Structure 1
Amino acid sequence: MMNSREIRKQFLKFFEDKSHEIVSSAPMVIKDDPTLMFTNAGMNQFKEYFLGNKVPKNQRATDTQKCLRVSGKHNDLEEVGKDTYHHTMFEMLGNWSFGDYFKKDAIKWAWELLTEVYKIDKDILYITVFEGADAEGLPMDQDAYDFWKEIVPESRIILGNKKDNFWEMGDQGPCGPSSEIHVDIRSAEEKAKIPGADLVNQDHPQVVEIWNLVFMEFNRKADGSLEKLPAQHVDTGMGFERLCMVLQGKKSNYDTDVFTPIIREIETITNSKYGVKEEIDIAIRVIADHVRAVSFAIADGQLPSNTGAGYVIRRILRRAIRYGFTFLDQKEAFIYKLVDTLIKQMHEFFPELKKEKNIIINVIREEENSFLRTLAQGLVLLDNIIGANTDKVISGSKAFELYDTYGFPIDLTALILDEKGFQLDEKGFQEELEKQKNRSRAATKIETGDWEVLIDDPIEEFVGYDTLETQVRITRYRKVESKKDGELYQLVFNITPFYAEGGGQVGDKGYLESTNGDVIYIIDTKKENNLIIHFSKNLPKNLNDPFRAVVDEKQRNRTAANHTATHLLHQALRSVLGTHVEQKGSMVHSGYLRFDFSHFAKVTSEELTQVEDFVNARIREQLPLQENRHMPYQEAIKEGAVALFGEKYGDLVRAVKFGESMELCGGTHVANTGDIWHFIITNESAVAAGVRRIEAITFDAAKEYFANQTEAFNKVKAVLKNNAVDPIKAITALQEENTAMKKQIEQLLKDKAKGLKGELKAELEEVNGVRFLAKKVDLDQGSIKDLAFELGSEFKNLYLLFASENDGKVILTCYVSKEIVKEKELNAGQIVRELGKLIQGGGGGQPFFATAGGKNPVGIPEALLKAKDYIG
């Protein structure tokens, strides 16, 4: 029986022997395709070839691609773990033909590999072929059917509908019929009862698709119509985990050696047993699957966050934590302990896991601890909601607030409510959730028209390293509409000086000018599937005119200064903090730069000063730019060039060098470090566990910074009214004087509170066995609290409500003796929450002490009056 490593190697070798180039997996996190957050299929990294935007150096390729799917057909995140054959992160084995071989060879080789190399029993395999779609004028895929008929009995060929057997990249783009290979691994008894053909594509856990052969021959246009592609391509994808299940004789992907080492480690750490109880099995499967997805994403540069792709990764990890918390009784971080096992298992083919081990472990551990604190907070909030509820039904809006604002999982809310005899208004929750989704969809929806081709030449040359203006022609354009940006146009040129957003650097802005003076402003530049796309709010009057393309020189120079500064900053950090420092992300604007890096402690002020001094020393040295735009990747690495986190490099790279700093980089840079002028760090902070962030400015922003500092200094001297006096000494004297006065005021307030205490004791009245007082007092909040607790130390049946007002802000303070909280059913937190509404505010706290803030002093008398109702 082959292990998973051998299965993977055998696949790649088979196609390598058939003249396919073995291509390394692209990062799972996508950087230059606005239509996708993550690589969700093996073909993603080859889209530019299918679209005709780039010519491959080899027309045949093979790989295993790490993929992430968290939505769509059979891939809903909330369902992963509940069955045995779907995953979030998985490997997709594939072979590709870019205008070379087509259906016949793809089918022949797939069958040869499965039955002759892997020796899968031919009698357990079924084939599906596209049956056609009359509504779209698509005929049955007769060619594929005929090719298969030469290999397998017709009884094993099943006609499939458009949903199952017509693959599309998206709403627009390359597409075509597909032929799936399914495997039936049921027992002989089960096969005798129901034929395998009846269970194909019916979501049976032992009758599953393992390989999909896609024959891309059409292009889907924006209006939904189809047109023939200029070349025909093959795009296949085989589920690695499912293949291992078949070849290792298992009934579940999770029983293969892809997952068993992780599952055994989960059992050991959590003192649980897999295969005994279904809810525990689901939890273990969820954790085993999700730790893979999160680890690979972090290794590719995507840290958990509150937005975009980072939010998806956080959501996956939190789902795993929640399952461990609820079903495996794990109240402390433990998932990070599984990373070592994962790395041992997969680092041979995915070395990035081992390289980023410390970051992966630290980020997961910190996220676990953070979410466990969230769960603890959510449990308290849920208890408060339950305590304030009288009808045993918790509204969907309240549950949604817990979910949306505090990150408390809805299924955990439902579980706890059920245990306490309460019901959840699930319909109301789903309505709130759908409203949020609709808002999100409306905000991000983009409608893209088809490309209007003016010049049939997709190859676009970038000349922006050498010039900021050149003569261009528009080769294609299209209209896009979104709620965020409104109506825009995307333009592609035959040649361009505009740098497209990438490598953390923002895209160039500028304008096009025709010979008759027609000017069109370029407001952004991005790259999509190897095309440099220029955004404008309108189109030229004559699209076929030649144009002078001009980049905004001021913005480009500022951006170039900041980008070069990030290289020097990287070098400085490695020099000052140590060679463990690696870049984990950057953002380069014209106004500032942001640089994320690996380091496991806050950078001290002394270290930051050293870093600043290091960079500024390199600026004073006036180091010239040295670059090699077409350097072999391995040669560049051998010479010491730094390759950046989460990037995929080709065979030839651009190496940028300033003195001892050498990095692989496609961004724009100054000709000489002296052009940066000066480097100033403005902030240092944490991004995630083991990842720090430095923000800084250079060039014009640094000049403006010094000008502002000088102006502020002069204003301070003017305020001190004596320019001859040392400002620092004068300010120090003022601070000392202020501190002394504060102490005097505090003492006066304490004396006032003491005097007031006697008066208040005399005003206490007894109501139903409770000593009660509601009164407005003229004290600061600290003094009010001290006063309340001092009175509380003398009376064990005390209930107080104090109101105070300062600068239009109102504070209600409630104190209840602990002895009577339960006895009299008095809860200070609930009281101030309700009375706070009268002052247009809110608050809360503990049952014996709580405060509420508001902005309506007019409500104070009614609040004081109603306080008595709780004991009257």
Structure 2
Amino acid sequence: MKSQDIRSTFLNFFKEKSHLVLPSAPMVTKDDPTLMFVNSGMAPFKEYFLGNGTPKKSRITDSQKCLRVSGKHNDLEEVGYDTYHHTLFEMLGNWSFGDYFKKEAIAWAWELLTVVYKIDKDILYVTVFEGSNDEDNLSLDTEAYDLWKQFISEDRILKGNKKDNFWEMGEQGPCGPCSEIHVDIRSAEEKAKVDGKTLINEDHPQVVEIWNLVFMQYNRKADGSLENLPNKHIDTGMGFERLCMVLQGVQSNYDTDVFTPIIREIEAVTNTKYGSNEKQDIATRVISDHVRAVAFSIADGQLPSNTGAGYVIRRILRRALRYGFTFLDKKEPFLFRLVDVLSKKMGSAFPELKAQKQLIENVIKEEETSFLRTLDQGLILLDGIISASKSKEISGEKVFELYDTFGFPIDLTALILSEKGYTLDEKGFQEELQKQKNRSRAASEMSTEDWTILKDDAIEEFVGYDTLTSNVNLTRYRKVTSKKDGEMYQLVFNLTPFYPEGGGQVGDKGYLEDNHGDVIYILDTKKENNVIIHFTKNLPKHLNEPLKAVVDEKQRHRTECNHTATHLLHQALREVLGTHVEQKGSAVHSKSLRFDFSHFSKLTVEELRDVENFVNARITGKLPLEEKRNIPMQQAIDEGAMALFGEKYGDTVRAIKFGKSVELCGGTHVKNTSDIWHFKIKSESAVAAGIRRIEAITNDAVKDFYFENNRALFEIKDLLNNTKEPVKAVQKLQDENASLQKQIEQLLKDKAQNLSGEIKNQLQEINGVQFLATKVDLDANGIKNLAFAIGKEYQNLFLLFATAPSKDKAMLTCYISKELANERGYDAGKVVRELGKLIHGGGGGQNFFATAGGRNPGGIPKALEKAKDYLK
């Protein structure tokens, strides 16, 4: 059975059981601060389990893209070394929100596996929660146990502990017992030797869990206690890749048709054969898994970067690349070449792969090229660490610096050290790594109390499109404590004019005022699992009395100007550059806007001018806002609205129109484009291969910009004796400066030539080497020219020059004839690194020429004196 058929069979089975089939949600989360990525099938439905929203239907089924690479659910280090862990995986699931419960979930799971998929029931085991004797004091899940007895013999029903058979969303929130279904695909001979039940949850590669049925019936409170949920829910998750392994009769997920096309392409690209070498096989599995994770993340809008979720994606990509570099001998970009086969294999189920294929290839190739440069630089730095080491064991602190600052992989470092006869202080490295983790954990540590419910009002209405002031009632609040912000309170109201951060737009600020004249300030507004949360430092004094909520009007207006400008900018870019341009991200604040878009090259001055003029023409055109709320998604698309990849849209949407610019958008906007006043591009730059970024300003910020430029112009004119033509005056100064610079360069050249004779007269012969260590009064370029000029006349030259350009600056330059360096093993780089310590600095270079800089000119005499020691 092919993987596409396995997926469609699952979805159709539950469709026939009255489930609504939904497409996979984007893997990158937007309004859940507790998650970077969707890491389980239930994550997109958290708001329904928490009671913060109502699903389209009480029965749902889907195949959800998931990524597990950080936090509690982290499978990264197992990937490639076993046959069934992955970073990205599909989770097939069926969901009941207050509808059916254990009876139906268990019966349908058995029917699908044994009747529809025809899996031999004699290779299946199930587990149920055995209960716990801890503070929860939970008893055996006898209901699930008795239901399973109808389908499978009791000797195949195992009682599992809390770790394996009690599922929790997190430290707080909905949870409940679960029932896992395991499969034993070992040979008959192996089964005869060892009973399968003894291998359940023991990480055996052929005895694995394929489906987990979670019975969501409790809520975990902040104090650790459990309370019953008002409604019981079903949350199931089946590993698609593992299911394919079972149904296709193979012993590894990587032997299924989910992975084999990618593995064949890796074989072709790297000229290796999968199955012939263990280390190469691990590398091939790592690469085939990781390229999927990276490609899907980029398709969903998350580009590699140095922070947050982007850093996670960059880390996965670099892990794949270094396995190729180390074990498959690939020293040039190659991962991007795997995207084509991935797109062909999975594009029908996930059309975003096909639509974003070129972008994915470009971004991956650029990242590969960049990291290979990092590896080259790291190799040079590692050579320096080895040269400076007085021991055969390399300092863990030094290696950690190479890992942390320069991104050089620790496993590659260990491999290179081993090849050179050195060892790594693994304990020291791990200590430094743990220190970093502790710092990071302390910085992000947070404690969250339970919600205090004041009014049972599940409906929270946003009224901020129409008003900036509302009378509101506080319905719930909780205290959150973090090292970063200290004590904060999160407030929820029955309605609110405060816009929560989303769609790139910053959250509103403002204040609350009670009937007694007391005021507290709203510092930020965010959305979490469909709830609008307001952040304050203080609680209202009178919790049960009405409050007046007021949004900061000036900040909101400036933000609206910038947000509307992004829509006009998007339209302008597509008009000027072409319809291939698509929005890839935005940040809208009160002071400025940032807009990322797909385009293959840097914009010319003329293109930037045309884009700016296009936007300003729409501003002066006084285009009114045409807004349609809660219209069907298809209607909005039919009317020309653009839907963005990586965004999750509902059945009904909000369409924003200014002239011919039509976009789906939940943000706030000006009533007329004339409110923007003016649009000014500040910069245009690259974000990644095929992704450009424009930063711009509007309204008051443009006025400030022109005011500052005008002030600067008057100051320049004043310096130029109030000339009427400042540009010509500056050009004249530049020409004069260039002419004087040439004269200085010639004087320095003449000075170096004069010095050359003096230097040659001062050379001493020591052990067959022409040696001199002296201080000279030249710049860096002059010293280099002097050294190489003298070097042309000698094949046994060893020079060390020092100079002090200022009272807190010193420089050392070492030149050694190449013949001498090769014959005697002298190394100019090592010389300047060691002597550089005397001037409180360091440096490096090649074995025949190297420089070091420092901040202690007082150390120059000692450095010159010690140079002679290298000839002994």
Give the TM-score range, shorter chain. over 0.9
Is 2:837 aligned against 1:837? yes
User: Could you tell me how far apart the structure 2 residues matched to 1:562 and 1:722 are?
Assistant: 37
Letter paired with 2:2: N
Match of 2:277 in 1: 277
- Specify the alignment match of 1:727 in structure 2: 726
Q: Which residue of 1 aligns with 2:658?
A: 658
How far apart are the structure 2 equivalents of 1:177 and 1:119?
27
Match of 2:57 in 1: 58
Question: What SS class does the counterpart of residue 380 from structure 1 fall into?
Answer: helix
Could you list the per-position Cα deviations for residues 720-742 of structure 1 after superposition, in whole angstroms to 9, with x for gaps in the alignment? 1134x311111111111111111
Matched, 1:5 2:4: yes
1:517 aligns with 2:513: no
What are the Cα deviations for residues 463-518 of structure 1, in whole angstroms up to 9, with x where unaligned?
Answer: 00111110011111111111111111111111000000001111000000001011
2:42 aligned counterpart, secondary structure: helix
Query: Residue 80 of structure 2 aligns to which amino acid in structure 1?
Result: G
Q: CA deviation at 1:75?
A: 4.2
State the partner residue of 1:555. 555
Deviation at 1:871, TM superposition (A): 1.9
What's 1:778 paired with?
777
Aligned to 2:450: 450
Unaligned runs of at least 5 residues, structure 2: none
Look up the match of 2:761.
Answer: 762
**Does 2:609 align with 1:609?**
yes
Question: What's 2:27 paired with?
Answer: 28
- Aligned equivalent of 1:245: 245
Aligned equivalents of 2:714, 2:27: Cα separation in 1: 53
- Checking the alignment, whether the CA contact within 8 Å between 2:352 and 2:645 is kept in structure 1 is no
The unaligned stretches of length 5 or more in structure 1 are: none
Q: Secondary structure at the match of 1:584?
A: strand
Is 531-540 or 854-863 further displaced after alignment?
854-863
Structure 1 equivalent of residue 335 of structure 2: 335
Q: Does 1:16 align with 2:1?
A: no
State the SS of the aligned residue for 2:99: coil
Distance, in Å, in 2 between the alignment partners of 1:63 and 1:520 is 44
Aligned-pair CA distance for 1:385: 2.3
Q: Deviations over 1:177-231 (max 9, x none)?
A: 0000111111111111112111111111111111000001111111111111111
In the alignment, residue 712 of structure 2 is paired with which amino acid?
A: A
Q: Secondary structure at the match of 2:646?
A: coil
1:525-604 correspondence to structure 2 within 5 Å: 525-604=525-604
DSSP 3-state at the match of 1:794: coil
TM-score (norm. length: structure 1): 0.98
Provide the secondary structure at the position in 2 that maps to 1:238.
strand
- The 8 Å contact of residues 594 and 696 in structure 1, kept in 2 or not, is answered as yes
Matches within 5 A, 1:259-298: 259-298=259-298
Deviation per CA, 1:126-171, whole angstroms, max 9, x where unpaired?
1100000111211111111111112211111000000000000011
Deviation at 1:812, TM superposition (A): 1.3
Q: Quick one: which amino acid aligns to residue 320 of structure 1? A: A
- 1:392 is displaced (CA, Å) by 1.6
Q: Match for residue 803 of structure 2?
A: 804
CA contact (8 A) 1:75 1:86 kept: no
Counterpart of 1:472?
472
Q: Give the whole-Å Cα distance in 2 for the aligned partners of 1:227 and 1:366.
A: 51
What residue identity is the alignment partner of 2:648?
Answer: K
* Secondary structure of residue in 2 paired with 1:830: helix
| 1:564–1:670 CA contact under 8 A, matched in 2 | yes
Deviations 1:377-424 (A, max 9, x none): 222222232233342211211221221112111111111222222111
3-state SS of the aligned residue for 1:671? coil
Residue pair 1:593, 1:695 contacting (<8 A) in 2 also: yes
Determine the C-alpha separation between the residues in 2 that align with 1:75 and 1:704. 48
Structure 1 residues 139, 233: CA separation in 2 closer, same or farther (over 3 Å shift)? same
Greater Cα shift, 727-736 or 93-102: 727-736
Deviations 1:286-328 (A, max 9, x none): 1111111110000000001111111111111111111111111
Q: Once the two structures are aligned, what percentage of the paired residues are identical?
A: 72
Q: Secondary structure at the match of 2:229?
A: strand
Distance 1:70 1:243 in 2: 21
Please give the root-mean-square deviation of Cα atoms over the aligned residues, in Å.
1.2
Q: Which one-letter code corresponds to 1:373 in the other structure?
A: R
Displacement, 1:71?
A: 4.1
**2:86 maps to which residue?**
87
The match for 1:675 is 675
CA contact (8 A) 1:95 1:236 kept: yes
What is the aligned partner in structure 1 of residue 794 from structure 2?
795
- Equivalent-residue separation in structure 1 for 2:262 and 2:459 (angstroms): 47
Counterpart contact for 1:585–1:645, Cα < 8 Å: no
CA offset at residue 817 of structure 1?
A: 1.3
Q: Could you tell me how far apart the structure 1 residues matched to 2:434 and 2:774 are?
A: 46
Distance 1:307 1:74 in 2: 20
CA deviations 1:613-658 (Å, max 9, x no partner) are 1111111101000011111111111211011231010000000000
By how many angstroms is 1:336 displaced? 0.8
Q: Is the 1:74–1:86 contact (alpha carbons within 8 Å) kept by the matching residues of 2?
A: no
Alignment-derived partner of residue 193 in structure 2: 193
Amino acid at match of 1:427: K
Conservation of the 8 A alpha-carbon contact between 1:810 and 1:839: yes
Taking the aligned partners of 2:483 and 2:836, their CA distance within structure 1 comes to 39
- Counterparts in 2 of 1:87 and 1:475: CA distance versus 1, 3 Å: same
Partners of 1:285 and 1:851 lie apart in 2 by 44
Distance across 2 between alignment mates of 1:89 and 1:783:
56
2:736 and 2:746 mapped to 1: Cα distance?
16
Q: Which residue of 1 aligns with 2:746?
A: 747
Corresponding residue SS for 1:91: strand
SS at the partner of 1:177? strand
How do 1:87-166 and structure 2 match up within 5 A?
87-135=86-134, 136-166=136-166
Letter in 2 for 1:15: F
Q: Distance in 2 between matches of 1:423 and 1:84?
A: 31
Match of 1:405 in 2: 405
Distance 1:778 1:581 in 2: 56
Distance between the aligned counterparts of 2:513 and 2:73, measured in 1?
51
Q: Secondary structure at the match of 2:539?
A: coil
Residue 57 of structure 1 and its aligned partner are, at CA, apart by 2.8
Distance 1:788 1:741 in 2: 25
Q: Distance in 1 between matches of 2:730 and 2:391?
A: 61
**Greater CA drift, 437-446 or 125-134:** 437-446
CA distance in 1, matches of 2:822, 2:3: 62
Distance of 2:366 and 2:32 partners within structure 1: 30
Cα distance, 1:72 vs. partner?
Answer: 6.2
SS in 2 for 1:58: coil
- Measure how far apart 1:811 and its partner are: 1.4
CA contact (8 A) 2:525 2:532 kept: yes
Q: Does 1:860 align with 2:852?
A: no
Query: How far apart are the structure 2 equivalents of 1:370 and 1:860?
Result: 38
Contact 2:444 2:482 (8 Å CA) reproduced: yes
SS of residue in 1 equivalent to 2:792: helix
| Distance in structure 2 (CA, Å) of the matches to 1:722 and 1:713 | 10
CA distance in 2, matches of 1:629, 1:74: 38
Corresponding residue SS for 2:113: helix
Question: For 1:498, what is the secondary structure of its paired residue?
Answer: coil
Q: Separation in 2 of the partners of 1:516 and 1:74?
A: 49
What is the CA-CA distance between 1:30 and the residue it aligns to? 0.6
Determine if contact 1:396/1:425 at 8 Å carries over to the other structure.
yes
Q: Distance in 2 between matches of 1:836 and 1:346?
A: 56
1:350 equivalenced with 2:350 (yes/no): yes
Question: Which deviates more from structure 2 when the two are superposed, residues 559-568 or residues 757-766?
Answer: 757-766
Paired with 1:97 and 1:722, the residues of 2 have a C-alpha distance of: 78
Name the CA distance, whole Å, in 2 between partners of 1:152 and 1:709. 80
SS in 1 for 2:69: coil
Deviation at 1:245, TM superposition (A): 0.8
Deviation at 1:800, TM superposition (A): 1.5
SS in 2 for 1:476: strand
